[in-house]
Structure 1
């Protein structure tokens, strides 16, 4: 893992390593901050996420239902008073 200062000083080495296929982690103030990776690796991650993402309808249909298939009980919420 690179410190931010080292990564700034040796940015070409960080980029070269990322292009060689090894993502480079950079820390800031001792905590992991960012990862530098090649554009092709990034595109693969994005494409994979798009391909595995379910549709909004599928997400809604995945919500749990009760055992007897009746509508689930909803919390009773009282709206707060708002003064204008």
Structure 2
């Protein structure tokens, strides 16, 4: 059973189960989408791609220091509202 649509990048769950080795092989070069009930459910990517997508790209401090808002005079005032009553 071949991938269903989207230029050989999309599989049904049944098709992916039947050809799991092929899904893995193709995912080495192009992410493979697995659909359930006609809707995208998961994407299989190579370990290399996953590492690239999830690698930390600096610290929070570096992100804040590089912010385009750094140095602007934002007037941020904390709200001093009372806590709301919640039902028990």
Query: Quick one: structure 1 residues 58 and 38, their matched pair in 2 at CA, closer, same or farther if it must change by over 3 Å?
Result: closer
| Structure 1 residue runs without a partner (length 5+) | none
Which structure is higher in helix share?
A: 1
Q: Gaps (5+ residues) in structure 2?
A: 1-9
Question: Does 2:42 correspond to 1:34?
Answer: yes
1:44-83 matches, within 5 Å, as 44-47=52-55, 50-51=56-57, 55=60, 58-59=63-64, 69=73, 71-81=75-85
- Give the count of matched residue pairs: 77
Q: Distance in 2 between matches of 1:34 and 1:41?
A: 15
Deviation at 1:28, TM superposition (A): 0.9
Q: CA RMSD in A?
A: 3.2
